[in-house]
Copies of this chain bind each other. A is one copy, B any other.
Amino acid sequence: MSGERNQKVKARLLKGMQDSWPELARARREMLSEIEAVCRTFGFLPLDTPVMEAREALLGAEPSAEQLANIFHFENQDKEQVGLRYDLTVPLSRLFCQNFQDIPRPFRRYQTGSVFRWDKPEPGRFREFQQFDIDTVGSASLAADAEILAVVDAIFRRLQVRNYVIRFSNRKILNALGEYCGANVQQGRDIYRVIDKLDKFDRERIRLELGPGLKDESGALIPGLGLDVDQITKIDAFLDLPNSGDANESLSAARSLFTGNQLGNEGLDEIEELISMLDAFGMRGSNWIFDLHLARGLGYYTGPVFEVTLTDLPSYGSVFGGGRYDDLVERFLGEGQGVPAVGASVGVDRLLAALTELGRIDQRRATSEVLVTVMDKSRTADYIEITSELRNAGIPAEMFLGGGNLQKQLKYADRLGIPYAVIAGSDEFEKSELSIKDLELGRRIAEQVEDRDEWKEQKQQFTISRSELVATIRERLEASR
């Protein structure tokens, strides 16, 4: 498909797309590899599904114009309507239903990959981005929900993040609020959406959104749910319940409020059972909080919901979240044909950005520890041998493959962050010696990170015998770890 002579084309990325340069690509691989290792310890299975799905699998048979505007979709050469997946949950539902008779149950899987949304691009927000999902399909047991929380907890511990909070609640509690305050079905269904805004707006604004609505800056009406004053007062009473992290206090206060409310009590029972299981998972005293107000934005949750925030980075909001969604497969199986399912999803690049800000990510671009410089092209075979010797000893190394003098070669090493350079010209070859340059030390001196007295005594460049190469580099790499 190449080789034809055509007019020149501008090399550019499409709007909303990003290249992941080595620093990012490397950090992402390392983070995902840690997360996957945790999932495997919990016995979850890896799965991959295609990027492309039938449009009706993604959005149902009769998608709205708004739904269509939010995804990448087109007609393919077979005149089929197809689209690029916008999450990893819908493809899982499709796969589960497609293989309904044969799939192991419960089906516990993790998956990572690109998803695509036709969003307005913003800094840090792209139209193609990576998600990581973990789900258990086919288990109604709350142990499945607790296990997902335990996986998430283990992931943050494995990533060496200390200051995180896993907040959880149960969608049934907010759904019960509708019954409790006598809202109609539609109002009851929307209460969680308003309460989800507690982070952003004050209580007065919430009251207006529950009731008559309010005017925005332009004077246009933002319609409210239309609840009356008595109803809003009851919701206020719920929002005033103690919610400071003492689960027993919140539970018993909510029990009093929901006396006789079956759905509310079911939700609270499930929370109690969930908490007892977290204890069994060894999460007693872990960073979890029962948060009565937790809503989670998505409509499809049916039971426990949760999200994770980083206490050192509140502006990042939720970096990991999920919950139980027992009805999502209805699109494929028909209404009322639910399959119990629970899962969690993380925006990989957002979590990566957060970890970077927390200093938990190695920012170095290079994979090589040593650059073998080329001082004399006729000695190429010797330089290759030096490089191979390092590699064979397990030390990532590269020989400089470009053209240019030593200065240019060392600049290349600096740009990539390669810590050591090996320098050998005719002098060194004659004496069976090598020069080693500690580029990392040079960088620290240049940035004045190193204490002056200390670095004065250290040599940035020194000579060793040829046979000491591997031992010298290995020793210094181990010392700097």
Q: How far is the CA of A105 from the CA of B400 in the complex (A)?
A: 9
Q: Which residues of B contact A141 (CB under 8 A)?
A: 380, 401-403
Q: How far is the CA of A49 from the CA of B75 in the complex (A)?
A: 24
Q: Which residues of B contact A74 (CB under 8 A)?
A: 74-75
Q: Is the CB of B381 within 8 A of A52?
A: no
Q: Is the CB of A17 within 8 A of B105?
A: no
| Residues of chain A from 247 to 288 with CB closer than 8 A to chain B in the complex | 276-277, 279-282
CB distance from A301 to the nearest CB of B (A): 10
The reply to whether the CB of A476 lies closer than 8 angstroms to some CB of chain B is no
Q: Is the CB of B396 within 8 A of A8?
A: no
Interface size on A, residues (CB 8 A): 132
Q: Which of A61-69, A210-218, A427-435, A447-455 lines the interface with chain B?
A: A61-69
CB distance from A479 to the nearest CB of B (A): 21
| Residues of chain A from 1 to 43 with CB closer than 8 A to chain B in the complex | 1-15, 17-22, 24-26, 28-29, 33, 36, 39-43
Q: Which of A179-187, A228-236, A360-368 lines the interface with chain B?
A: A360-368
Query: Which one, B40, B52, B70, B397, contacts A367 given CB within 8 A?
Result: B40
| Residues of chain A from 83 to 109 with CB closer than 8 A to chain B in the complex | 84, 86, 90, 93-98, 100, 104-106, 108-109
The reply to whether the CB of A220 lies closer than 8 angstroms to some CB of chain B is no
Q: Is the CB of A136 within 8 A of B401?
A: yes
Q: Which residues of B contact A56 (CB under 8 A)?
A: 9-10
- Known pairs A2-B90, A104-B412, A280-B385; list 13 more (Cβ under 8 Å): A8-B331, A8-B333, A8-B334, A10-B332, A12-B94, A13-B50, A28-B48, A42-B391, A42-B396, A51-B116, A74-B75, A281-B388, A282-B388
